[in-house]
Structure 1
């Protein structure tokens, strides 16, 4: 069974807030309940995929990964019930982490949007 964790891109700051911070943040509880936080402080909730890159770094939705063998960058998305690497092609993220291919987290779409530009 995989560990269930989240992180949130916070527009104010801006910064990425990790799970350890979030579970102790009162406004986050309201956000999770669907309440509207007055200043839209939190922007995007991202789930941990349960997978790690070649360096042992956790992979989340919204991460940008580099598939080493192809020297190509992909955005991690959750689509049709599974985590996928989306870019020039789209494939199961498990493929990029199970030994067939190796990948490395090189950033995310919020802090490093330029990584996905050609």
Structure 2
């Protein structure tokens, strides 16, 4: 079974914090878990930075979260973003799925569900859309 956890950037320090996610009015909070299994601190985070753990790790055993930027090991400087939402593709029929998927921001504009299907491929977390947005811009510039 997949571990359910979230991360978000703390409003006070800008540091990443990990744990359970909750919303209270206009506030967004990460409740970090403790080694004793009891509720830890309730930390106010920037709601726009909150992302869920996919349940998968990259080739270096780093956890992969929504909002991460992954490098696809078989193609030089090809970066994709981990997204949660609805995606689909057309063949003879249209298939729509909801879940984690990968998308790039270049002219080819792919959206695909390879994250789960291709676990054996050399995905590597190289950043995230909040701290390293230039990686996706660099990828777009290289393909145009």
Who wins on radius of gyration, i.e. which is larger?
Answer: 2
Matched, 1:34 2:24: yes
Superposed, 1:77-116 pairs within 5 Å as 77-80=83-86, 81-87=98-104, 88-92=109-113, 93-96=115-118, 98-99=119-120, 101-116=121-136
Superposed, 1:26-65 pairs within 5 Å as 32-37=22-27, 41-43=45-47, 44-65=49-70
Q: Unpaired segments of 5 or more residues in structure 2? A: 28-43, 87-97, 139-144
Q: Does the Cα contact within 8 Å between 2:82 and 2:101 map onto a contact in 1?
A: yes
Determine the C-alpha separation between the residues in 2 that align with 1:33 and 1:73.
31
1:35 is displaced (CA, Å) by 1.6
3-state DSSP of counterpart to 2:134 = helix
1:70 is displaced (CA, Å) by 1.7
1:69 is displaced (CA, Å) by 0.5
Instruction: Point out 4+ residue stretches in structure 1 off by more than 6 angstroms.
Output: none
Q: Unpaired segments of 5 or more residues in structure 1? A: none
Determine the C-alpha separation between the residues in 2 that align with 1:63 and 1:4.
16
Corresponding pairs, count: 105
Q: Which has the higher helix share?
A: 1
Partner residue in 2 for 1:7: 7
Which digits, 9 at most, give the CA deviation of each residue in 1:17-41, with x for residues without a partner?
A: 122xxx5xxxx7xxx143223xx85
Q: Does the Cα contact within 8 Å between 2:57 and 2:63 map onto a contact in 1?
A: yes
Q: Which has the higher strand share?
A: 2
Matched, 1:76 2:77: no
RMSD over aligned CA atoms reads 2.2
Give the TM-score of the pair, scaled to structure 1: 0.77
